[in-house]
Structure 1
Amino acid sequence: MSSRTSSPFSPVSGVNTPKEADSGYSSGTACEVAVPEVYFSKPHLQFLNRQLQFLEPQEILKWCITTLPHLYQATAFGLTGLVTLDMLSKMKIPRPQMVDIIFFDTLHHFPETLSLLDKIQDRYPLVNVHIFKPAGVNTAQEFAVKHGDKLWEENDQLYDWIAKVEPAQRAYRELGVNAILTGRRRTQGGQRGDLDVIEVDEVGLIKVNPLANWTFKQVHDYVKNNHIPYNELLDRGYKSVGDWHSTQPIKEDEDERAGRWKGQQKTECGIHNPRSKYARFLMEQEKKKEQEAVQQALHKVALQA
């Protein structure tokens, strides 16, 4: 298992363009701005999506490899991610162009997910896996000591930031990621129903969803027919697997991701939501801390008076 590594490539976290409204994305903060290696205007992005939606996933992946520099696959080894990985492995790709994997270890994955990671590395030994964990901790016990026993219940947005969003931003920065292959599909339900094949987020990261058009049956059949190791939880009623504390099995007539955050008005962990939402959230948290510090100081002054 390879540990996280640095890259000589410069990170692309935004764009520096005065025509922000005409682009496929908006710029980041001034300190993060870098010249993008790939730029899509909105008309170009719309054109690409019209063309790509009629292609098979393998054709989309070939287009990605030949078009997008510093391309990675972000996956927790769900069925779609496994299909993408296997399709890539069957292509004749020179080693420098092979697509490395980024795995976000939240420290709260099911044991079955971590076991699958080992099986995948045995099955695809040429693929590098970069593992990123929450900052400053390496185990669930350390996470609990630092952030509390049930942060996901007490403050789910903060949990998402610490366990997933911040590690993702750190990974993209350290590895110099320009583009990411995701496992999102339209039939998964929730916010993914109108998913495009290619997207560009608000800080310039290109996200490609090569199997956006496929159904659960198609990805399941591909995994079965190609004898790919998969998460054992799928045989126990799980169709989408995340952290153990926020994932449940589902009924046959429910959306694939119905078991994620069941009973909550939530369908995404934050990695695929606008990052500015989390920047605002962190700012609010800092303001709250400052206000509490001021109140404590005033309280001490009052006691001393």
Structure 2
Amino acid sequence: MAFRSRSNSSDREAESGYASGSSTASLPDIYFTRPHLKFVNAQLAKLEPVDVLRWCLTSLPQLWQTSAFGLTGLAIMDMISKLDYAIKPNIELIFLDTLYHFPQTLDLVERVKERYPSLKIHTYKPEGCENTADFEQNFGERLWESNEDRYDYVAKVEPAQRAYRELDVKAVLTGRRKSQGGKRGDLDIIEIDDQGLIKVNPLANWSFKQVQAYIKENDVPTNDLLDQGYRSVGDWHSTQPVTDSEDERAGRWKGRNKSECGIHNKKSRYAMFLQEQEEKRQQELSDAIHQGLKIEAAP
């Protein structure tokens, strides 16, 4: 299993027969075999999250954090800020502003900036949009109701992909955990998505109570909505409070057969639709060119 490989046969013909970090040979940015990935996950599962972060600093280039400022992401931010390690943790953060966040979430972003002044936050919005009015002019009002897949794509998936591309991201830290329920129940600490992006879930094995305890002990700033029965906070139009007996993410897209927005799915249905449309367009173009050549060649 190789990711972003740029090697070719001539590169492998180095005089020594080997390539080192200072070599000019072109190598894959990051490489895992399936058995190696399984071994790494088994080992990391035995470690505390802080030790997982230390491993990441040693092993993964171009490491970033993605967060919507949920409890787990906040705990990871705080851990990074306190990390006592020989390698300085220079991990910057990507925040996807869908333009439909609660005011309390945006207020939290500002409080986080004050609490962690050295943390650099890169905010990405839907393409061509600075505010909600721009979004609704470009894509229509209440798009999450009229075309949910398209909404997920333009508000979250495309901005995330743009961020990874523009920032040359190779690996990201996420706040996903097994105890959040839904499709996250069998989460590994290290995952590889279908684009070759490495996703690290340092708190994958922690419970909600463990995260809460860490947040309280370290006086980490949190979303004011948590005091109103919310546990997992996303867009205001698709987030509700939950009861103590419900999964942590039960308030996200409540009443719908859905638990993820598409960022952590293999590929969103809308993205696949776009790909299919582009492939169809390319095929039609190829057919037209071929037909034109046949007409031109006719006697």
Q: TM-score range by the shorter chain?
A: 0.7 to 0.9
- Aligned match of 2:172 in 172, 176, 180? 180
Aligned mates of 2:167, 2:221 — CA distance in 1 = 27
SS in 2 for 1:275: coil
Is contact 1:160-1:270 (8 Å) kept?
yes
Q: Which residue of 1 aligns with 2:255?
A: 263
Aligned mates of 2:156, 2:243 — CA distance in 1 = 27
Q: Which residue of 2 aligns with 1:74?
A: 66
Q: Which amino acid aligns with 2:180?
A: Q
The 3 A distance-change label for structure 1 pair 15 and 246 is farther
1:35, distance to aligned residue in structure 2 (A): 5.8
Aligned mates of 1:107, 1:257 — CA distance in 2 = 21
Q: Which residue of 2 aligns with 1:279?
A: 271
Q: Which has the higher contact order (CA 8 A, sep 6+)?
A: 1
Is contact 2:100-2:235 (8 Å) kept?
yes
Query: 1:243 and 2:235 equivalent?
Result: yes
The 3 A distance-change label for structure 1 pair 231 and 36 is farther
SS in 1 for 2:93: strand
SS in 1 for 2:65: strand
1:97, distance to aligned residue in structure 2 (A): 4.2
Structure 2 spans left out of the alignment, 5+ residues? 9-25, 282-299
1:285, distance to aligned residue in structure 2 (A): 6.2
1:218, distance to aligned residue in structure 2 (A): 0.6
Aligned mates of 2:87, 2:4 — CA distance in 1 = 28
Is contact 2:4-2:28 (8 Å) kept?
yes
Query: 1:195 and 2:195 equivalent?
Result: no
1:14, distance to aligned residue in structure 2 (A): 4.0
The 3 A distance-change label for structure 1 pair 108 and 95 is farther
1:36, distance to aligned residue in structure 2 (A): 3.5
Q: Aligned pair count? A: 264
Aligned mates of 2:171, 2:127 — CA distance in 1 = 23
Is contact 1:13-1:173 (8 Å) kept?
no
1:287, distance to aligned residue in structure 2 (A): 9.2
Provide runs of 4+ in structure 1 moved above 2 Å: 12-18, 92-97, 275-279, 283-289
Percent of matched pairs sharing the same residue: 57
SS in 2 for 1:274: coil
Is contact 2:7-2:28 (8 Å) kept?
no
SS in 2 for 1:76: coil
Query: 1:163 and 2:155 equivalent?
Result: yes
1:37, distance to aligned residue in structure 2 (A): 1.2
SS in 2 for 1:229: coil
Structure 1 spans left out of the alignment, 5+ residues? 1-11, 19-33, 290-305
SS in 2 for 1:131: strand
The 3 A distance-change label for structure 1 pair 15 and 155 is farther
Q: Which amino acid aligns with 1:118?
A: E
The 3 A distance-change label for structure 1 pair 146 and 271 is same
Is contact 2:149-2:268 (8 Å) kept?
no
Query: 1:115 and 2:107 equivalent?
Result: yes
Q: Bigger shift: 179-188 or 89-98? A: 89-98
RMSD: 2.4
TM-score (norm 2): 0.83
Q: Which residue of 1 aligns with 2:31?
A: 39
1:94, distance to aligned residue in structure 2 (A): 7.7
The 5 A counterparts of 1:1-305 are 14-15=4-5, 36-92=28-84, 97-275=89-267, 277-283=269-275
The 3 A distance-change label for structure 1 pair 147 and 288 is farther
1:276, distance to aligned residue in structure 2 (A): 6.6
Is contact 1:15-1:203 (8 Å) kept?
no
1:249, distance to aligned residue in structure 2 (A): 0.4
TM-score (norm 1): 0.81
Q: For residues 68-97 of structure 1, give each alpha carbon's deviation from its aligned partner in whole angstroms, at most 9, with x where no partner exists.
A: 010000001100000000000001368974
